[in-house]
Amino acid sequence: MRVVKEAEERKNEILDVAERLFGTKGFDSTSTTDILNEIGIARGTLYYHFQSKEEILDAMISRMTNRLIEKAGAIAAQKEVPVLQRLTMLLRSLNVSDGNLGQELLAQAHKPQNALMHQKMEQSMLSGINPILTDLIKEGTAKGICQTDYPEEVAEMTFLYANTVFDGLMEHSEEQQQRKIAAFIYNLERLLNMEQDCMKAAIMPVFQRDNKIKCNIVCAENEDRESD
């Protein structure tokens, strides 16, 4: 007997399956036929919601990043928490944990063959997170904690630098990792006209936690290769 589902429910089912397949097989290696077979629907039903695999990817990334953006906005709104702590909490909330983006999907996005997925994820996050980071920097400026005439640009630089340079942080030696992290903090303090090392206590926990997450991903990938 054919199961008829509401449009929004069916759309989310397609996205759920696509997220799982893109995460395990990769975007390029997953076909719309794979998605159809997994769900058990006709091709016309799929095309009713999405015209192409690229549209599915766009919708999937939008859904995932919206969850993180909403979480970041809620953190930024906690005015009772000091602004530097909120900045740290916000950055930490963008890390992959508790299934927000999925470690498998993140690992796939970092692979060269899935550059499109990575690019779309970064663009989606930047457009949603940058205004929130900008408001935090403006709040810090108003309170005399930092100073810049370009809060939006500093927020963009901070986000993009962290999401490009630190993507492959685990590929470097421990000494190189610490140097890159120290350089990030140093340059952020210069961008915000803050005294040297005053951001260290707020920023270091972000990368310490991020390293643990990425280490888990690398270990999982190594285990997969050894089992093949």
Please name the helix (run of DSSP H) or strand (run of DSSP E) that holds residue 164, with its range, or none.
Answer: helix 151-165
Instruction: Using the predicted structure, report yes or no on whether residue 220 has a pLDDT greater than 50.
Output: no
- In this predicted structure, what is the pLDDT of residue 31? 93
- In this predicted structure, what is the pLDDT of residue 121? 79
The amino acid that residue 157 corresponds to is M
Burial class (CB in 10 A: 0-12, 13-18, 19+), 197: exposed
pLDDT averaged over every residue in the chain: 79
Summarised one tens digit per residue, pLDDT across range 199-214 is: 888 777 766 654 544 4
- In this predicted structure, what is the pLDDT of residue 124? 83
More confident residue, 116 or 141: 141
Q: What is the distance between the alpha carbons of residues 228 and 223, in angstroms, rounded to a whole number?
A: 9
Q: What is the distance between the alpha carbons of residues 171 and 85, in angstroms, rounded to a whole number?
A: 29
Q: What is the distance between the alpha carbons of residues 59 and 15, in angstroms, rounded to a whole number?
A: 8
Is residue 32 a contact partner of residue 53, using CB atoms and an 8 Å limit? yes
- In this predicted structure, what is the pLDDT of residue 120? 79
- In this predicted structure, what is the pLDDT of residue 223? 43
Q: What is the distance between the alpha carbons of residues 76 and 2, in angstroms, rounded to a whole number?
A: 46
What is the set of domains in the chain, with CATH numbers?
61-227 (1.10.357.10)
Summarised one tens digit per residue, pLDDT across range 128-179 is: 999 999 999 999 999 999 999 999 999 999 888 876 666 555 567 888 878 8
Q: What is the distance between the alpha carbons of residues 157 and 130, in angstroms, rounded to a whole number?
A: 10
Chain centroid offset of residue 198 CA: 26
Instruction: Using the predicted structure, report yes or no on whether residue 182 has a pLDDT greater than 90.
Output: no
Q: CA angle, 105 as apex, 91 and 19 as ends, to 5°?
A: 115
Closest by Cα among 63, 58, 169 to 119: 58
Burial class (CB in 10 A: 0-12, 13-18, 19+), 198: middle
- In this predicted structure, what is the pLDDT of residue 90? 85
More confident residue, 191 or 92: 191
More confident residue, 184 or 80: 80
